[in-house]
């Protein structure tokens, strides 16, 4: 499943209650699998700043997703005949939590990621409320890190490399890259600069590699194909030519296969001063033959003219062993250079795809935070959830969510332009078709399909 729904709903007394309400509503009929999407305490700023940032984050979202898909697409192009391995090379390699049962048990079939694990006086969320000892949970340091339980002594999570669904459903805010002490605008600018640099580097690296590949393909193409266009250097030998003669020279002539007899019978009559019996068939393909002919230099131009009239084509060719060796060495050099660049380029694309994808999901987190504050007001208190909708139950799931959260916004119950106008007045920029009473973003992580 490549389509995910990222939503947020206002928190009840605790985020756990909000989570339970949503889970119970979608459990019937297995409408979706839900994962909590922890967002740390971010600086809210002023209302004007949030409204302005809402629009800018939409543009940043589009830009970062576009670069992410461009990197994925180019990785597919570079892999060429190994393109079927593209999917396994598209990973999000940031540290993620994955289930590891020390007793060798299997991961639960429907894991239930916890809510925001960091206490927030804005969000009003404590870590998951499943303490058996009755003691109140201790507020954490503010870092959002989903975990299976609070027993830090048991190895219930390990750091691994993850595929894209795992990164999304086990999302952790990267405190090192995007410090939450920075303003929302600064965090957005950090992401924009980071992805912008990757985009610029991609253009340079792809231009250099494409140029190399194009030159190599051009040379390789000349080694095959019709005798009218292909490189003749690997077909002829020194003994086919009269060399170092002041008066005589050897030409290479392309003759249609159906006209071989005509050539052999009449080539000596095309012009004067042609050496008798000097022609030799060097090579032939399905359509043409490559013949040599020796004649005096002074009649070369006349011979070319009359040969063309008879549909015999003289190829421009000068036998020079140094030039021929240089041509073969050029192909070898380009093949070697391409091999040298392939490995580092693939590694760069894999690393920077991961960087872009992770940045993209952080932009989604920023958008959820900003829109949730604009929708639900202060103090900040909401629960963000990633939903994996069942493919055949999307409409029913949408109806369940509509019923669950319709009370949040009267515009959800209105029709015509009124609903759209209310959404736009809120500064959210949604059209009527994609406006819901809860914050909603669709995420398509299928990079191969669009690559």
Name the token pair of 212. Answer: 């190399």
Residues contacting 243, CB < 8 A, separation 6+: 319
Classify domain 238-318 by CATH number.
3.30.70.100
CA atoms of 218 and 299, how far apart (whole Å): 34
CA atoms of 38 and 97, how far apart (whole Å): 13
Q: How, if at all, do strands 157-162 and 32-36 pair?
A: unpaired
Cα 412 to Cα 45, 253, 294, 386: the distances in Å are 28, 80, 89, 21
- Total residues belonging to the chain: 451
- The string of pLDDT tens digits covering residues 196-222 is 999 999 999 999 999 999 988 888 777
Name the token pair of 103. Answer: 């007793």
CA atoms of 119 and 143, how far apart (whole Å): 9
CA atoms of 215 and 78, how far apart (whole Å): 15
What integer pLDDT is reported at residue 109 of this predicted model?
A: 38
What integer pLDDT is reported at residue 229 of this predicted model?
A: 83
What integer pLDDT is reported at residue 422 of this predicted model?
A: 53
CA atoms of 1 and 444, how far apart (whole Å): 9
What integer pLDDT is reported at residue 116 of this predicted model?
A: 36
Residues contacting 270, CB < 8 A, separation 6+: 303, 306, 307, 310, 312
CA atoms of 305 and 33, how far apart (whole Å): 78
The β-bridge partners of 296 are: 248
Among 104, 47, 44, 79, residue whose Cα is nearest residue 343: 79
What integer pLDDT is reported at residue 449 of this predicted model?
A: 63
pTM of the predicted structure, to 2 decimals:
0.71
- The string of pLDDT tens digits covering residues 372-411 is 999 999 899 999 999 999 988 999 999 999 999 988 875 5
Q: Do residues 167 and 357 touch, judged by C-beta distance below 8 A? A: yes
- The string of pLDDT tens digits covering residues 129-177 is 333 333 333 333 233 333 333 333 333 333 334 689 999 999 999 999 9
CA atoms of 403 and 400, how far apart (whole Å): 5
Name the token pair of 356. Answer: 């872009």
What integer pLDDT is reported at residue 165 of this predicted model?
A: 93
For tokens 């909401």, the residue is 382
CA atoms of 155 and 370, how far apart (whole Å): 35
CA atoms of 314 and 297, how far apart (whole Å): 14
CA atoms of 180 and 25, how far apart (whole Å): 33
Per-residue pLDDT of the chain in tens (451 residues, 90 and over written 9): 689 999 999 988 888 899 999 999 998 878 999 999 999 999 998 999 999 999 999 999 999 999 999 999 999 999 988 888 898 899 996 443 333 333 333 333 333 333 333 334 334 343 333 333 333 333 332 333 333 333 333 333 333 346 899 999 999 999 999 999 999 999 999 999 999 999 999 999 999 999 999 988 888 777 777 888 887 887 888 888 988 889 999 999 999 999 999 999 999 999 999 999 999 999 998 899 999 999 999 999 999 999 999 999 999 888 877 777 776 777 888 889 999 999 999 999 999 999 999 999 999 999 999 999 999 998 999 999 999 999 889 999 999 999 999 888 755 455 444 445 555 544 454 444 567 999 999 999 998 764 4
**Domain residues of the chain, as ranges?**
3-94+336-444, 238-318
What integer pLDDT is reported at residue 14 of this predicted model?
A: 82
Name the token pair of 387. Answer: 């939903």
Q: Do residues 244 and 273 touch, judged by C-beta distance below 8 A? A: no
Dihedral sign from CA coordinates of 248, 252, 257, 258: negative
Name the token pair of 219. Answer: 């040379």
Cα 224 to Cα 32, 94, 233, 451: the distances in Å are 56, 47, 11, 31
């Amino acid at each position: 499943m490549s389509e995910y729904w990222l939503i947020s709903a206002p928190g009840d007394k605790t985020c756990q209650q909000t989570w339970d309400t949503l889970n119970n509503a979608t459990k019937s009929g297995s409408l979706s699998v839900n994962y909590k999407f922890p967002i740390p305490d971010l600086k809210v700023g002023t209302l004007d700043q949030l409204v302005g940032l809402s629009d800018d984050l939409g543009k940043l979202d589009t830009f970062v997703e576009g670069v992410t898909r461009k990197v994925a697409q180019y990785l597919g192009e570079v892999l060429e005949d190994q393109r079927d391995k593209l999917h396994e090379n598209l990973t999000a390699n940031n540290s993620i939590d994955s289930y590891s049962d020390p007793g060798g048990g299997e991961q639960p079939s429907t894991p239930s990621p916890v809510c925001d694990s960091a206490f927030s006086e804005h969000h009003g969320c404590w870590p998951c409320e499943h303490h058996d000892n009755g003691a109140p949970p201790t507020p954490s340091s503010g870092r959002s890190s989903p975990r299976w339980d609070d027993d830090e002594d048991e190895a219930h999570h390990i750091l691994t490399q993850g595929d894209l669904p795992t990164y999304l459903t086990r999302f952790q805010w990267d405190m090192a890259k995007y410090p939450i002490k920075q303003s929302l605008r600064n965090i957005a600018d950090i992401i924009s600069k980071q992805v912008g640099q990757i985009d610029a580097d991609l253009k340079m690296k792809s231009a250099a590699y494409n140029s190399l590949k194009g030159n190599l393909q051009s040379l390789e193409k000349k080694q095959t194909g019709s005798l009218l266009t292909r490189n003749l250097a690997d077909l002829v030998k020194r003994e086919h030519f009269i060399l170092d003669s002041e008066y005589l020279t050897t030409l290479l002539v392309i003759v249609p296969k159906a006209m071989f007899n005509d050539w052999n019978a009449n080539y000596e009559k095309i012009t004067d001063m042609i050496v008798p019996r000097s022609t030799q068939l060097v090579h032939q393909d399905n359509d043409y033959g490559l013949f040599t002919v020796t004649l005096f230099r002074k009649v070369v131009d006349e011979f070319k003219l009359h040969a063309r009239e008879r549909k015999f084509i003289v190829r421009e060719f000068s036998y020079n062993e140094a030039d021929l060796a240089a041509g073969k060495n050029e192909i070898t050099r380009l093949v070697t250079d391409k091999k040298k660049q392939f490995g580092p380029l693939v590694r760069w694309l894999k690393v920077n795809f991961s960087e872009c994808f992770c940045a993209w999901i952080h932009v989604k987190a920023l958008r959820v935070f900003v829109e949730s504050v604009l929708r639900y007001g202060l103090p900040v208190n909401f629960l963000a959830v990633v939903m994996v909708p069942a493919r055949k139950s999307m409409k029913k799931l949408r109806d369940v969510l509509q019923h669950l959260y319709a009370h949040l916004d009267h515009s959800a119950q209105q029709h015509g332009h009124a609903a759209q106008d209310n959404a736009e007045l809120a500064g959210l920029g949604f059209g009527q078709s994609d406006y819901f009473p809860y914050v909603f973003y669709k995420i398509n992580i299928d990079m191969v399909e669009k690559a």
